[in-house]
A = this chain, B = another copy of it.
Amino acid sequence: MNSAPMARMAIHTITTKPWSLRECIDSYRKKNVPGITVWRQALAPQGPQESAKMLRDSGLKVVALVRGGFFTGKDAATRQAAIDDNLRALDEAAAIGAPLVVLVCGATPGLPLADARKQIVEAIGKLVPHAQSRNVRLSVEPLHPMFAADRSAVLTMKQAREICGNLTAELGGAVCGRRLVGIAVDVYHVWWDEALESEIAAAGRLGLLHAFHVCDWRVQTRDLLNDRGLMGEGCIDIRQIRGWMERAGFGGWIEVEIFSNERWAGDQQVWLEQIVEAYGKHV
């Protein structure tokens, strides 16, 4: 299988976290990276309108806004605050021209995961009308089971697909038919799952494959959150998973999303060069 085309490459601003949005834009452009996925903290300093102008002028394609979600909670007020925040995220996405918002759906210690998933379905259902009016898709990202305590009750592709299915049932089939609610597949979270190939195929048939994130799993992972590896540095067969995505009909952006305390502490220009090289070699 060939290398992934540069024309489909995007980088998440969090990957070069020390940089402002301005620095991300200028540096990605210089390296001919055509896509950018914007984290909300990169928008915050100058606000969505000014950010939108910077992004429009840059010629970069805005791939997604990250992140919404965190829908779960033990009381209604907490859950409503999450809905409100996600409505704002949809507005921000629309403002910067992001076609989708990635959802890290949330989990609450002490709340059974099955109950959390019901809250997640309910919350996404409430966002649908606003997402439709803003023409922004909602992309459920299954997270690795090591984040089940407080980040995500959605831990597998199967669970993400079922959430999309529940919403389809509730909303009369319109949502998934129009792919308004779908799935963001991140190799870091799902590589271990024996059902991954078949679930990607199933999601593809249903039109649910919204996004594809790449990085690697370091064999000696030093931190649960911020020790992701550069592609090629770990044990994930990224190219195989990309093949499964493409056979399932996905031809969209390939987004590099790497949280790494080690990499953030170094020179970000050097890091960006390493990312572009690794993308060519290992994606």
Contacts and interface: CB of A to CB of B under 8 A. Distances in A.
A112 B224 contact: no
A262 interface: no
Label chain A's interface by main secondary structure.
loop
A273 to B, nearest CB: 25
A113 B221 contact: no
Contact of A219 (B150, B159, B217): B150
A221 B155 CA distance: 17
Interface stretch (A68-76, A124-132, A141-149, A199-207): A141-149
Interface string A200-233: 0000000000000000011101001000000000
Contacts of A237: 112
A172 interface: no
Nearest to A108: B235
Interface string A92-136: 000000000000000001101110000000000000000000000
A75 to B, nearest CB: 18
A146 B149 contact: no
A55 to B, nearest CB: 35
Interface centre among A113, A144, A192 (most CB of B within 10 A): A192
A217 B146 CA distance: 10
A234 interface: yes
Contact of A194 (B113, B192, B235): B113
6 contacts: A109-B234, A109-B235, A112-B237, A113-B192, A146-B146, A149-B235
Given A112-B237, A145-B145, A192-B113, A221 B224 contact: yes
Contacts of A144: 145-146
